[in-house]
Amino acid sequence: MTNISGKMLCSPASNRLREGAKASSENRGQDISAGAQKNSLVLAAPCHFGLEAVVKREVQNLGFSVSSVEDGRVSFLARPEDIPRANICLRTAERILLVVGEFEARTFDELFEGIRALPLEDYLPKNARFWVAKASSVKSALFSPSDIQRIAKKAMAERLGKAYGLSWLPEDGPAYPFRIQLRKDVVTLALDTTGDALHKRGYRVSPVIAPISETLAASLLLLTPWRRGRILVDPFCGSGTIPIEAAMLAANVAPGLKRSFLSEKWESVVPTGVFARVREEANAAILPDAESDIQGYDIDERAVRFARDNAKAAGVLGAIHFQRRDVRDLAHPKKYGFLLTNPPYGERIEEQKNLPELYAALGDAYRRLDSWSMYIITSYADAEKSIGGKATKNRKIYNGMLKTYFYEYQGPKPPKR
């Protein structure tokens, strides 16, 4: 598959994977737990609630076959050698989980026996350092995260001790954090192949207060018709996340190139050298001279300075024009551009009184931009009223625990070239 540039971002999964998709998806349960042996895995990509369709499309564009879509999670079929590609290339997912097994459990005894029945030794060496990093429960009989974590760890230790003939596990090797999800009494046990969440691209050297996450910024970009070569302006750029993600997308820069992942040390799961090969492919696909017209403005000079530092660390400073500018002074001579922004929400009481005037100024600026489109993510309830016009469309998105809306003011399409 190709991205917006028409050039390969990362090589898609093989045809053999897609040909085996139907058979693999029909046999989740125990077959999942034997994935390392069968060379067929289920990977899960957690994401922001409300953005599942974006993640699904990106997963499919990498050549993977989607097996299921749930609230906040997209699962897909893969092979061990696809773990590096998913981690390095996906822009919108929060992390990549390797699903070890699924089973039903309504009591702690059933939870213990279910985990002990899974062949964890197919994934973990005898010196693995393992723990349950997170447990969550939705509409299930078992609901205490700490108790779920404690019982699961005990079952894992018993399984691995018996498999390796050890009465004591050293746990002085590579890290293997697990995540457990209970949904309607169905337990999903998964290994976190990522480590630090995928929004940590490795380029944020100078943060400002409450920046939008990199994965959310990339998702919003992919929800718009914006493409490389078209004008993009963020009038409240903060630390520069939206312009930087746009520049990386335009230049075909894979988001995970500048960071490491836990599974790079998993010799029992990921074939040696695959991470290096995927990085080589991704580096070769970068378009250093990609055409771009991306601008980031902020009234705070300090924020603009930090945005430049971050863009430089990301390797895209030359593709973005940053400037200190008030939204009231926003103007552009060209037509058919895009405003994409994350304006202040007024989370602090003292800021709330300024929001009507601020959003009214944004609305006035937008109306002066002939034929432009505007996209805004905010939790401010009176955004449309203050802007002075009803959005063409709005979408509910959870930014962490905060409910926000993505307002779309769609302008006319440019004439075909």
Q: Using one digit for the tens of pLDDT, what is the confidence trace for 85-125? A: 999 999 999 999 999 999 999 999 999 999 999 999 999 99
**Residue that wins the pLDDT comparison between 32 and 413:** 413
Band of the pLDDT at 211, cuts 50, 70, 90?
A: confident
- Examine the pLDDT at 38 and tell me if it is beyond 60: no
The 97-104 sheet, strands edge to edge: 65-70, 73-78, 41-46, 97-104, 186-192, 175-183, 129-138
- Examine the pLDDT at 10 and tell me if it is beyond 60: no
The conformational region for residue 185 under phi > 0 = left, psi -120 to 50 = alpha, else beta, is left
Q: Using one digit for the tens of pLDDT, what is the confidence trace for 71-80? A: 999 999 999 9
Which pLDDT score, from 0 to 100, does residue 34 have? Answer: 42
Averaged pLDDT, 211-239: 95
- Examine the pLDDT at 39 and tell me if it is beyond 80: no
Averaged pLDDT, 48-69: 97
Give the number of C-alpha atoms closer than 13 A to the C-alpha of residue 250, restricted to the C-beta side. 27
Question: In the CATH scheme, what architecture does the domain 214-259+287-409 have?
Answer: 3-Layer(aba) Sandwich (3.40)
CATH class, range 15-192: alpha beta
CATH 3.30.2130.30 domain locations along the chain: 15-192
Strand partners, 306: none
Which pLDDT score, from 0 to 100, does residue 353 have? Answer: 87
Band of the pLDDT at 24, cuts 50, 70, 90?
A: very low
- Secondary structure class of 67 (helix, strand, coil): strand
Averaged pLDDT, 183-201: 97
Strand partners, 134: 179
314, containing H or E segment: helix 301-314
Strand partners, 296: 234, 322
Pinpoint the alpha helices (H) of 315-387.
Answer: 349-352, 355-368, 383-387
Which pLDDT score, from 0 to 100, does residue 18 have? Answer: 33
Which pLDDT score, from 0 to 100, does residue 329 have? Answer: 96
Chain centre to alpha carbon of residue 319: 23
- Secondary structure class of 167 (helix, strand, coil): coil
Least confident interval from 167-181, 247-261, 351-365: 351-365
| Angle of CA points 383, 386, 387, to nearest 5° | 80
Q: Using one digit for the tens of pLDDT, what is the confidence trace for 286-315? A: 999 998 899 999 999 999 999 999 999 999
Which pLDDT score, from 0 to 100, does residue 209 have? Answer: 64
The 402-409 sheet, strands edge to edge: 320-324, 293-298, 231-234, 338-341, 373-378, 402-409, 393-399
Which pLDDT score, from 0 to 100, does residue 197 have? Answer: 97
Averaged pLDDT, 255-262: 96
C-alpha distances in Å from residue 358, one per residue of 235, 351, 374, 380 = 12, 10, 15, 11
Least confident interval from 204-213, 368-377, 393-402: 204-213
Query: In whole angstroms, what is the distance from residue 111 CA to residue 114 CA?
Result: 5
Chain centre to alpha carbon of residue 63: 17
- Examine the pLDDT at 273 and tell me if it is beyond 60: yes
Q: Using one digit for the tens of pLDDT, what is the confidence trace for 341-391? A: 999 987 665 578 899 999 999 999 999 998 999 999 999 999 999 999 999
Query: With contact defined as beta carbons under 8 Å apart, do 174 and 129 qualify?
Result: yes
User: Whats the size of the chain, residue-wise?
Assistant: 417
Query: With contact defined as beta carbons under 8 Å apart, do 374 and 403 qualify?
Result: no
Could you tell me the two tokens for 54?
């974006």
